[in-house]
Every structure is written in structure tokens, then in C-alpha cells.
Amino acid sequence: MSGYLESQLIIFCLSTVYAYGVFLPAASGQLNLGAAGFVTLGAYASSWFNAQVGLNLPVAVSIPLSMAFTGAISFLISFPILRTRGVYMVLATFAFAEVVSGLAINMEFLGGAAGMPVEGYISVAVIVPVTFAVILFCFYLMSTRLGLAFRSIHDDESVATLFGVDVRTAKVAAFTLGGMLMGLGGALYGHQYNFIEAQTFNVLLSIYILLYVLLGGTQTAWGPIVGAAFFTIVPEAFRQLANAMDWKWLADSRFIFFGAFIVLMMVFRPEGVVTRTFIDRCKGVLTGRGRARPAGDAAP
């Protein structure tokens, strides 16, 4: 595999892992705009557990340990954060990410603003299977009773409560598992690039991860992978096209088209690219049993 393709594959895998971390809370109706904070936690925790000045553990131990650490933090903050709703929850997760990044910059033993070199290295041969495992886990999770609970809370929280779903437990579970996945993504990032600095995990990263999920669709577990693939492949495709045709204007302005696409997408397909009806239709076409369900999924 060429170096270019490999680097793109790694970016795609990391984006997918982050996206599933935001997807789990989003599937149960909570918007998390603080992805960068959890990624920062995972990256710094794993690199510190792994470093000689830290705990000096092998990578195979430090990554799961950093997942546990990020999961524990997510679990603890999920209680105050889940007290908030809607706009307040977006703001609270956003503020959490800023606090984490502010603290990381000010901790001298983590390298401070200069960043932190990471010792242990993992290659693409580890990242791809791990990503695959994450995807399988999320598909499995969405097919269990807990996944059904997430879906019901996403669609209508009061009705879910009336039907005996333990809304609070399900939400805390979604938030904590999501935090763990983002921590895993951060740890993979650190050990792949061997250098982390808090400034890389900024507001724009949080925004992009949330966009992967919302554009891909929160109704099924296909959403994040489609969204992440789209966000990785389309700008690169634009760039390749610009290089091939020698269109300098396109190389400079590809993100403008991309932003315009996001806006139009919200007008024409607000539930994301992949919806439940879409999946049903695909199945119908594949098995030759015609249209499974009438249209009408677009309206909430």
C-alpha cells in the first residue's frame, strides 16, 4: 500500500472511532460537542501510562487502561452533564472540552503547551482491526435491548419512560461507552503519530466529529462510518480532481463546496444520509421483496 493511501486510511479509521464515540450518546438523543475533550484525555492518559517517566507500561496495557480512565471520567461527569438538556447539554460538553484542553496545556509533566512525545508506536496493522472491532461492537450494541432503549429515548423520552425503559441508566451507559471509544481513538492517535499536543484537539475537531455523525445519520449504526468516510474521501477526491485537472481554484476552495453541501444536506435530507427506511429499502431491493415501508421517515 502506498504511503498516501495508508495515511488516508489511518485518518479514516481514527475518524470512524471518534464518530462512534459521539454516535452512542447521539443515538440516545444527546448532542455531544465535546469530543475533543475525551480524545485529549485518551491520548494523554495512554501516552503517560506508556512513557518511561510515567508508568512505563507496554502499549497493549496502556491503551485499554486509558480507555478505562476516559470511561471513568465520562461516567463521573455524565451525572451533572445529563442533568442538562438541549442547548444546555451542547454548551456543557463544549465547556468540558475547553476545560480539559486548558488543563492539559497547563500540566508541565504532560509537556504543557509544547506538546508531548509519545514513546510506543502502533502501526496501521493494529489500527484497522481495532476500528473494525469498534464498528462490530457498535452494530452489536444497537441490536441489543440496550440499543433498543437508546433508540426509544432518541425518538421520545417520555414514552420510553412510560414503557419502563430506565432512561437515566441508558443515557449514562451511552455517554460512558461513547467516552471510552473516544478515549480509544485518542490513544490510537497518540501512538500512531508519536506526538500529541492539546492544540490539535480543538473546537473544530469536536465540530467535525459531531458533523460526521449528524450527516451520516443517528438512526442506524451505519451513520458514523458513512459520515466519516464521506468527510475523509470527498475533500481528498476534490483535491485529486483539482490536481489532475490543474484547477487551482478548486484546490483552494474545496471546503467552501463542502460547507455548502452540509447546508443543502440539512435542507433536503435532515435525518442524515442513512436512515432506517433507507436500510429497509436496500434490503427490499436486495431480497426482491419490493419496498418495505412507505416513505415519510424524513419528517420527525
Sequence-ordered alpha helix ranges (H) in the chain: 3-27, 35-50, 59-82, 86-106, 124-143, 145-155, 157-162, 167-193, 203-216, 222-245, 248-268, 276-287
Among the residue ranges 106-114, 125-133, 184-192, 281-289, the one whose residues contact other proteins (CB under 8 A): 106-114
In angstroms, the CA 45 to CA 182 distance is 12
Residues touching other proteins, count (CB under 8 A): 49
204 near other proteins, rule: CB under 8 A: yes
295 vs 299 by CB, closer to other proteins: 299
- CA 284 centroid distance within chain: 30
Please state the φ and ψ torsions of residue 196, each to the nearest 5 degrees.
Answer: -130, 145
Per-residue binding string, other proteins, 160-199, x by CB under 8 A, is ----------------------------------------
Please state the φ and ψ torsions of residue 287, each to the nearest 5 degrees.
Answer: -90, -5
Among the residue ranges 81-89, 176-184, 237-245, 283-291, the one whose residues contact other proteins (CB under 8 A): 81-89
Beta carbon of residue 218, minimum distance to other proteins (angstroms, whole number)? 9
299 near other proteins, rule: CB under 8 A: yes
Among 81, 160, 172, 226, indicate the residue that binds other proteins (CB under 8 A).
Answer: 81
The residue assigned the cell 465547556 is 95
Q: Using alpha carbons, list the distances in angstroms from residue 198 to 12, 35, 102, 103.
A: 21, 13, 8, 9
283 near other proteins, rule: CB under 8 A: no
211 near other proteins, rule: CB under 8 A: yes
Helix (H) / strand (E) containing 196 = strand 195-196
* First CA to last CA distance, the chain: 44
Among 9, 128, 258, 273, indicate the residue that binds other proteins (CB under 8 A).
Answer: 258
In angstroms, the CA 167 to CA 8 distance is 39
236 near other proteins, rule: CB under 8 A: no
| Residues binding other proteins (CB under 8 A) | 31, 80-81, 83-88, 90-92, 94-96, 98-99, 101-103, 105-106, 112-113, 157, 203-204, 207, 210-211, 214-215, 252-253, 255-256, 258-263, 265-267, 270, 298-300
